Amino acid sequence: MSVARRTFIQLGAGATVGILFTPTVWKALDDVSIWTQNWPWIPKLKYGAVEAKPTVSKMCESGCAVKVRTVAGEAFGTMGNVDNPLSGGGICPLCANGVQVKNSPNRIKAPMLDGQEISWEKAQEVVAEKLAAAGSKVAVISGDQTGTVNEVFSALLNDKGSDAFYVMPCDMQAADKAWTGLMGGAGQVGYDLEGADLVLLAGADALESWGPTVANLKSFAANESGKFIFAGPMQTKTASVTSKWVPVPAEGMAAFTLGLAYYVLQAGKTVGAADFDLFRSMVMSEYSPAKVEAATGVKADQMAALAKQLLTASNPVVVPAGPVAAHGAAFALNLLLGGAMKALPEFAKAIPSAMSRSEMLRADILDGVNTDLLFVYEANPAYALPEKIKAGFTVAFDMVQTETTATANLVLPSLHPYERFDDLASPYGLAAATYSLGVPVSKPSVNAANAATFILGLADLGFETFEEVLGAKVDAIGADMDALQGGEAFVVEGETPVAASLAANVLGKAAVPVKGTGAVGLVPYTLLSVGTANRATTPNAPCTISNNQLVGDHMVVMMGSATAKQLGVSVGSMVKLSGGKGECEALVQIFEGVMPGVVAAPLGLGHTVGDEFSKGKGDNVYKILTVSSEAAAGASTWAGSTVNVAKI
């Protein structure tokens, strides 16, 4: 049969018209569209009752008061807890990703002895045996700055006749060494950032990573009439919102603060401390504006203007960070000014034989740890302190795999903060002693256990479970358990600080800048989106890390154009930084908010163990930090680290 051309065209036109008018094609296209958006590997949502349950999150160092959002009992998100003064509704970027860390494949799923999965009972036997053999050669490194879990660990140490309790290097430790150690003060120092009319952040990156960050941010937002000034070697995120940035090298912060004290003393300010006269003569002779300018590079007229602002403020406060000497100098200045520094009472202990917080902060981990049996609780010293720790047998408690769990003999999975009982007692920096409670709001995802309950099974400390310890703690401090479980905080106002001494003898020697011998100064800085010494980048955070920290898998260091010219590098140059006992590779970025002669590098990158969101990203700046001794203050510090920079 032949088909005439006319017939063919008629059929074709008919078919076209038919296609246009039949819904079949459009329906099919619509179905294809929907079908291809519902591939079986695209996750489906879970529906059910949505709730918000209060608890605490301990991803960041101070901890955040949060509400965990659940759907049909499964946690899916984290929000701030407006009922708790630590939060005000906000949370930090680390804690905001708490649920994602809880569900991460990086969670440790069961106890592991030398890489082999074992039962909790077997783990208990192994640790009991090691504990018996170690005698008093037992030590603890805790990554928790605020928890009563530390009481359990320190009570175990006491039971074994050891006082080797270590915390990772932190400002709370330097503050305590200065305040209770050198100056004879009592309690924990706090800063009323909301009530102050002038806040000088002397190195404290308080609106990004220092202290109780979220509470600081909340105070900053609430304090509309107050003025915030940031002093430090780099224009940090904190500096970006303060009214002024005063460039001061990190190792010169103590001298700079005493330079301000010079003017304050000159204005006739006094304080009732035994060595006030000695302090006055020491500052007036050793920290005159000209001498401080020569030592730190900060202009005398700039210090004079700043001191004038402090003197005219009705409620000023200086917030220090870094070495013990910088803390001591700031505390002395605050005492002279009589402003918004507070002394917080310590909450009563739940376990009588446990150390006080001040006792827990006494040992200096930068001096090194050498022990037969080491317990590491949610800390990562193998990443941040690789050269410092030596132990015959290491037991590491953590939620997720880290460099420390990878090298530990026994790894014990701890419950995630949303799965366990926990607490936050007076995060360092708050103006009032504040206690918040954490309760389980989600079922455990893995075969984990509460680390403190495990420890209580090893010795007779008077409690069977950590929940009982927390009950005793709440009773001891006189708080209401129901209110705490409802997400409220128990708050005791801070007091006017009183010191026996201004540590004149020590500060006179310790405040002199000590700098390494490298070509340029190193400014390590912490961003919570990148992580902390204990916690790596969380799953949703990598896209928040800017090109000033990470490009591809390469770390980025920032420096001013003058420094780049001096080093012969430019934007995008690949460089090797050598310092301490290691080396780092990085790309160069020009950022004029870094002091000349200084290179700024982000802490927290360069993990070799962990999940795909943190592992292999950038390089580890802890490797190139140099520990120097604050001999007069009896402490060690990373301030004053320097590096050599070579183009590669």
Partner 1 sequence: MSHFKEFKIKWGMVIDIDKCTGCGACMVGCQVENNIAPMTKSDPYNYVQALTKPRDDASNKLRTLTWMNVYELSNGKSFPEHETAYLPRPCMQCGNPACVPVCPVVATDKNEEGGIVSQIYPRCIGCRYCMAACPYHARYFNWWDPLWPEGMDKGLSPSTSVRPRGVVEKCNFCHSRYLEAKDKARLDGEDPMNLPEGAYTTACADICPTKAITFGDLNNPEHKVHELIQSPNAFRLLEKLGLHPQVYYMSEREWVRKQGDNYNAEAGGHH
Closest CA to 452 of 484, 412, 392: 412
Number of residues in the chain: 648
Residues between 55 and 74 with contacts to partner 1, criterion CB under 8 A: 69, 71, 74
DSSP reduced 3-state for 477: helix
Q: Contacts with partner 1 in 138-157 (CB under 8 A)?
A: none
Per CB under 8 A, does 116 bind partner 1?
no
Chain positions 397 to 436 lying near partner 1, rule: CB under 8 A, are: none
Q: Which residues lie across from 391 on neighbouring strands?
A: 371
The pair phi, psi for residue 308, each rounded to 5°, is -65, -40
Pick from 127, 174, 178, 207 the residue near partner 1 by CB under 8 A: 207
According to CB under 8 A, which one of 195, 457, 462, 593 is a site residue for partner 1?
593
Tokens representing 151?
Answer: 């009481």
Answer for the pair 304, 153: CB distance below 8 angstroms, yes or no: no
| Site mask for partner 1 (CB under 8 A), range 76-105, x = bound | xxxxx-------xxxxxx--xx-xx-xxxx
Nearest to partner 1 of 97, 534 (CB atom): 97
Binding positions for partner 1, 239-268, rule CB under 8 A: 239-241, 245, 247
Q: Is 386 left (phi over 0), alpha (psi -120 to 50) or beta?
A: alpha
235 near partner 1, judged by CB under 8 A? yes
The contacts found for 285-294 with CB under 8 angstroms, 24 or more apart, are 286/258, 286/508, 287/255, 287/258, 287/259, 287/261, 287/262, 287/511, 288/259, 288/262, 289/259, 289/262, 289/263, 292/252, 292/255, 292/256, 292/258, 292/259, 292/262, 293/259
Instruction: Give me the least distance between CB of 489 and partner 1, in Å please.
Output: 16
Check binding of 445 to partner 1 (CB under 8 A): yes
Provide, rounded to whole angstroms, the least separation between the CB of residue 96 and partner 1.
4
> Which of 1, 20, 42, 648 lies at the binding interface for partner 1 (CB under 8 A)?
42
Longest dimension (CA), the chain: 121
Residue 126: which of 550, 411, 447 has the closest Cα?
Answer: 411
Q: Which of 290, 553, 570, 631 binds partner 1 (CB under 8 A)?
A: 553
- 33-64 burial code (b ≥16 CB/10 A, e <16): eeeeeeeeeeeeeeeeeeeebbbbbbbbbbbb
Report 295-334 residues binding partner 1 (CB under 8 A). none
Q: Which of 2, 4, 43, 496 is close enough to bind partner 1 by CB under 8 A?
A: 43
Stretch that binds partner 1, among 46-54, 133-141, 170-178, 637-645 (CB under 8 A): 46-54
Nearest alpha-carbon partner for 176 in 378, 383, 287, 320: 320
| Closest distance to partner 1 from the beta carbon of 170 (Å) | 20
User: Are residues 644 and 518 in contact, defined by beta-carbon separation less than 8 angstroms?
Assistant: yes
Kindly state the smallest distance separating residue 559's Cβ from partner 1, in Å.
Answer: 10
Considering the complex, what minimum distance in angstroms separates the CB of residue 504 from partner 1? Answer: 32
Please check whether residue 395 is in contact with residue 131, taking contact to mean a CB–CB distance below 8 angstroms: no
Q: Give the chain's count of helices (H) and strands (E).
A: 21, 28
Asked whether position 208 contacts partner 1 by CB under 8 A, the answer is yes
| Interface characters, 526-545, with partner 1 (x: CB under 8 A) | -xxx--------xxxxxxxx
Q: Which is nearer to partner 1, 90 or 289 (CB)?
A: 90
Taking the complex as a whole, how short is the minimal distance between the CB of residue 45 and partner 1, in angstroms? 5
Q: For partner 1, which is the closer residue by CB, 389 or 441? A: 441
DSSP state of 400: B
- Contact between residue 257 and residue 330 where contact means Cβ atoms under 8 Å apart: yes
Asked if 444 touches partner 1 (CB under 8 A), the answer is no
Give me the least distance between CB of 290 and partner 1, in Å please. 20
- Start-end of H helices in 571-628: none
Structure token pair of residue 84? 């708790």
Residue 462 binding partner 1, by CB under 8 A: no
* Sole binder of partner 1 in the list 189, 595, 621, 624 (CB under 8 A): 595
Where does this chain touch partner 1 (CB under 8 A) — which range of 113-121, 372-380, 466-474, 523-531? 523-531
Exposed e or buried b for every residue in 441-471, given b needs 16+ CB within 10 A? bbebbbebbbbbbbbbbbbebebeebbebbe
Which 8-state DSSP code applies to residue 323? S
- State which amino acid sits at residue 516: G
Which of 613, 620, 636, 641 is the binder for partner 1 (CB under 8 A)? Answer: 613
Per CB under 8 A, the list member of 1, 3, 4, 41 interacting with partner 1 is: 41
The tally of CA atoms less than 13 A away on the side-chain side of residue 112 is: 21
Site stretch for partner 1 (CB under 8 A), options 341-349, 366-374, 484-492, 554-562: 554-562
| Closest distance to partner 1 from the beta carbon of 574 (Å) | 16
Considering only the stretches 234-242, 345-353, 457-465, 580-588, report the one whose residues sit in contact with partner 1 under the rule CB under 8 A: 234-242
Footprint of partner 1 on 17-36 (CB under 8 A): 33-34, 36
If one asks whether residue 585 binds partner 1 (CB under 8 A), the answer comes out as no
CA distance between the termini of the chain: 79
Residues that contact partner 1, how many (by CB under 8 A): 86
Phi/psi of residue 537, nearest 5 degrees: -50, 135
Choosing from 47, 116, 225, 517, the residue that interacts with partner 1 (CB under 8 A) is 47
